[in-house]
Amino acid sequence: MKIAVTILIGLAGFGLQIQSADGQGSLTPPGPPAAGMLTLSQVEPRTPVDATHTPGDNFAQYVISNSGSYYLTTNIFVSSGGFSAIYIVTNDVTLDLNGFSLLGASGAAYGINIESSCTNITVHDGLINGWSDDGVYCAGSDVTLDRVTISGGNVGIALAGTGRCVVRNSIVSRNTANGIYCSENNVTLDHLLVSSNNPGVYFSGVASGVIEDCTVNENVSEAVDCVSSTNITLQDLTISHNNGYGLVLQSCQYSTVSDCKINGNGNNEGIYLLGSSCLILGNSSSGNGIGFYVQGANNQIDGNHVIGNSPSGFGIWIDNAAGITNNIVIRNVVTGYGANDYSLGTAQIAGPIINSVASQIVTNSNPWANFGF
């Protein structure tokens, strides 16, 4: 105790004072605690679509008439004749099928019906099956279908609006009519499997369309049929084992078919070109009755590889009828059709056909030559 007293006295001698600690503010709360929970619209800012609605308005189980985001909470089954599952009649809608299915019985109309005045619509992630009209009927524009499976109905997808629609990452199969029917401009079909429809893809009167990175196989008739369309790009397609033509361009102009693999389409043509001013570039055709059959003018057939399993057919055959002129045929390789590797008529522009080899070295150095053996 003597030491402690001495220290205190010494500190006091230097003028230091020891003060007691005061309180740091009132302990009385300013008011009741505020709510800390999020509202339901903040937690899930979307509208659920369920199966509790009775079909009535607009002949649909569920009508979307307000812009926003919607999602399925269960499968929706429609058994009433003439009714659809979902009818969209407004702009700016996202519909998440959420892994569920829109199921139609015999006589049910559309899985999804998109009104003609609608724009900016997205539908994704679900199954649409068994609809007597169309799985998806789209008369709107700026519509995206992503990661959907559409099967077992009449027409899988019908695009009949004014333009700018995208279908991607999806499966369209086992529809009794067209897998995809399109009369709409500026359409893109990307990364699709289109199988066992009649036909697979049908374009009619389309101005500007792209079909790329798709597999189109085992369809009852044509795989891809483009009629009276312009500026169509078909690239990186796998077209195989269809019961009709692989790819048809009928009355089409300014279109390109490139880097496609077309094989095993029976005794039918791999590519049937009845158009003009089109490019057929870098494709492979194998096991088709006729590799390429051309009945148009001013087309360029360049750098293709055609292998036949049907010597009675033709590799590259350009019809010799009047008006079928000025088709350019260069740098192609055709084998397996015997004497019918090439049949080019007399009114075309073609590189020489080389079919002789000396010491395993091609005897002609013409860079535009075609090869047949």
Of 258, 279, 360, 290, nearest to 327 by C-alpha is 279
Query: Does 200 score more than 70 pLDDT?
Result: yes
Q: Are strands 76-78 and 101-104 parallel, antiparallel or unpaired?
A: parallel
SS3 category, 316: strand
Average pLDDT (67-71) is 96
Report pLDDT for 107: 85
Long-range contact set of residues 270-274: C-beta below 8 Å, sequence gap at least 24: 270/239, 270/245, 270/246, 270/306, 271/245, 271/246, 271/247, 272/245, 272/247, 272/248, 273/249, 273/299, 274/248, 274/249, 274/250
CA distance 96 to 125: 6
Q: Which helix (H) or strand (E) holds 9?
A: helix 2-13
Q: How far apart are the first and last CA of the chain?
A: 117
Query: Does 14 score more than 50 pLDDT?
Result: no
Q: pLDDT band for position 2 (50/70/90)?
A: very low
Q: pLDDT band for position 310 (50/70/90)?
A: low
Average pLDDT (188-203) is 97
Query: Does 13 score more than 60 pLDDT?
Result: no
pTM, 2 dp: 0.86
CA distance 304 to 260: 10
Q: What is the largest CA-CA distance in the chain?
A: 130
Residue 165, φ and ψ in degrees, nearest 5: -120, 150
Tens digits of per-residue pLDDT, 332-363? 999 988 889 999 988 999 999 988 766 556 76
- Interacting residues of 235 by C-beta distance below 8 A, sequence separation 6+: 210, 211, 212, 213, 256, 257, 258, 259, 260
Q: Which residue has 């189109």 as its token pair?
A: 216
Tokens, residue 29: 């709360």
Q: pLDDT band for position 223 (50/70/90)?
A: very high
Q: Which residues of 101-110 are buried (b: 16+ CB within 10 A; e: fewer)?
A: bbbbeeebbb
Domain boundaries along the sequence of the chain = 51-372
Report pLDDT for 6: 45
Report pLDDT for 34: 66
CATH of 51-372, one of 3.40.50.9100, 3.30.450.20, 2.160.20.10, 3.40.920.10: 2.160.20.10
Average pLDDT (292-320) is 91
Report pLDDT for 12: 45
Q: Which helix (H) or strand (E) holds 273?
A: strand 269-276
Report pLDDT for 5: 43
CA distance 342 to 344: 6
Average pLDDT (261-287) is 94
Tens digits of per-residue pLDDT, 225-254? 999 999 999 999 999 999 999 999 999 999
Q: Are strands 93-96 and 119-129 parallel, antiparallel or unpaired?
A: parallel
Query: Does 29 score more than 70 pLDDT?
Result: yes
Contact by Cβ (8 Å): 142, 119: yes
Report pLDDT for 30: 75
Tens digits of per-residue pLDDT, 113-158? 999 989 999 999 999 999 999 999 999 999 999 999 999 999 999 9
DSSP 116: T
Across 15-19, 241-245, 281-285, the highest mean pLDDT is recorded for: 281-285
Report pLDDT for 37: 65
Q: Which helix (H) or strand (E) holds 289?
A: none
Mean pLDDT of the chain: 88
Tokens, residue 368: 């535009």
Average pLDDT (313-323) is 93
Decide which of 58 and 11 is more confident: 58
